[in-house]
A = this chain, B = another copy of it.
Amino acid sequence: MTDTTQASFSVAPQGVGVVSPQCARFTELLHLRSGGVIADYELVYETYGTLNADASNAVLVCHALSGSHHVAGTYADQPNNVGWWDNLVGPGRPLDTNRFFVVGVNNLGGCHGSTGPSSINPATGKPWGPDFPMVAVVDWVHAQARLADMLGIHQWAAVVGGSLGGMQALRWSMTYPDRVRNCFVIAAAPKLTAQNIAFNDVARQAILTDPDFHGGNYYEHGVVPRRGLRLARMLGHLTYLSDDQMAEKFGRDLRGDSLKYSFDVEFQIESYLHYQGDKFANYFDANTYLLMTRALDYFDPAREAEGDLSAALAVAKANFTIISFSTDWRFSPARSREIVYALLRSGRNVSYAEIDYGAGHDSFLLDDPHYHAVMSTALEGVTV
């Protein structure tokens, strides 16, 4: 009996449980960086925990390329649909919902419920498709700020994100310096390199040249550019993993007992990539993929200060936690250090952790104990 009781104490803390997405509609014009305008849009979001009386405990979690508002928990009708950062968010977890009111939001242009290319354009009664305006990271930040207004949150206790989500967090600290007390920029970069852009370009070209893309109007043709999306995801996924991790997980293991000497799947790594690509092509919208990768390409906040990132960051007031992963070669630690040095030069308060972890760029989604210990410590220091 005693053993059982002890055992029940030692299990991992429970997550946030069953959650429900909500939807907010905005009818005020949103002027976009591209020059475009969105007049009427919806954002789908989820919240975990309870907003305190003075709304000082709210944390915004920004998603990356293929993420969504579904950060944590499961759905009543989809018990296996676990939020993409569930290991981080919940009672007793680093983003402790006993203390924080956590908000996840699907970005404008997304394909998980917020207004995007697959939504109906009220002006035409048809899906937006290629007419959906180009969205930039700063546009998402403005849209998120309106959601914050609607929720009664004047200042976020923290804005947190990994990869493209980290870029949003960084942008928040510069665009709304008074509205962010703490900023967590994880596995990110201050801007893309030529190589980063090149990988995005190949992925986009796979989609754009798929005959089923139909110039972005595939909805009307009753098809999706599956081949292109599949290739884009295979390539993306491959670059999110580390060489060592792939070697350990797959190596040169064969799918069958012996070589078949054909172009069918021979190696386990091929089987895995095809599975990931097929799965993605079944649910992700191709136009959204194009928009998200272009937002990555365009992100370069230092441009506004003639390339001087520390000058651009001088307006920021948040405390910064910057985290990188040793085996991330998409946004390597050197890229995070660029942010750290710029923050130090501009006199900001910054902590930096370089986590020795083997899972490549995707490390930020996993629950490495050192990584989560850093997150817990930093988040415990966030006053609410």
Contacts and interface: CB of A to CB of B under 8 A. Distances in A.
A193 B134 contact: no
A174 interface: no
A337 interface: no
Interface class of chain A by DSSP: helix
A297 B36 CA distance: 47
A341 interface: no
Interface string A29-46: 000011110000000000
A204 B227 CA distance: 12
Contact of A194 (B193, B211, B269): B269
Interface stretch (A5-13, A74-82, A147-155, A229-237): A229-237
B195 A246 contact: yes
A263 interface: yes
Interface centre among A238, A250, A263, A267 (most CB of B within 10 A): A263
B204 A263 contact: yes
A198 interface: yes
A263 B290 contact: yes
Nearest to A271: B201
Nearest to A287: B263
Interface residue tally of chain A, by bracket? 35 or more
A208 B227 CA distance: 10
Contacts of A201: 234, 267, 269-270, 273
A206 B195 CA distance: 20
This chain: copies in complex: 2
Contacts of A202: 231, 234-235, 238, 273
A178 interface: no
Nearest to A253: B194
Interface string A279-299: 000000000001000100110
A183 B59 CA distance: 61
A247 B195 contact: yes
A193 B243 contact: yes
Given A231-B231, A261-B134, A247 B205 contact: no
Interface in A200-221: 201-202, 204-206, 208-211
Contact of A262 (B134, B192, B235, B261): B134
23 contacts: A33-B261, A36-B261, A192-B252, A193-B251, A194-B243, A194-B247, A194-B249, A194-B251, A194-B269, A195-B246, A197-B252, A197-B267, A197-B269, A197-B270, A198-B238, A198-B269, A199-B238, A202-B231, A202-B234, A202-B235, A209-B227, A209-B231, A266-B297
